[in-house]
Structure 1
Amino acid sequence: MSARTDEEATRVQNNTGITPDSLRKTLVEKLEAQHVDIEDLSGGCGQMYEAIIVSPQFAKKTTLARHRLVNGTLKEEIAAIHAWTPKCYTPEEWEKKKPQ
Structure 2
Amino acid sequence: MEHSFLSSTSRQAMGPVTDSEIMNTLRSKFPGAKIINVEDTSGGCGAMFNVSIETSEFKGLTIMKQHRLVYDVLKDQIKNIHGLHLETRAPK
**Which one has the bigger helix percentage?**
1
Task: Please state if 1:44 is matched with 2:67.
Answer: no
Tell which structure's C-alpha radius of gyration is larger: 1
Q: Which runs of 5+ in 2 are unaligned?
A: 1-11
Provide Cα deviations, 1:29-56, integer angstroms capped at 9, x if missing partner.
Answer: 1123221111111111110001111111
Q: Which residue of 2 aligns with 1:91?
A: 91
Q: Percent identity?
A: 33
TM-score under structure 1 length normalisation = 0.72
Asked whether the 8 Å contact 1:41–1:48 carries over to 2, the reply is yes
Q: Alpha-carbon deviation of 1:19? A: 1.1
AA matched with 2:70: V
Q: Which residue of 2 aligns with 1:64?
A: 64
3-state SS of the aligned residue for 1:66? helix
3-state SS of the aligned residue for 2:61? coil
Q: Which residue of 1 aligns with 2:77?
A: 77
Q: Which residue of 1 aligns with 2:25?
A: 26
Q: Number of aligned pairs?
A: 79
AA matched with 2:42: S
Paired with 2:73 and 2:38, the residues of 1 have a C-alpha distance of: 15
Task: Please state if 1:53 is matched with 2:39.
Answer: no
Relative CO higher for 1 or 2, CA cutoff 8 Å, sep ≥ 6?
A: 2
Q: Alpha-carbon deviation of 1:86? A: 1.0
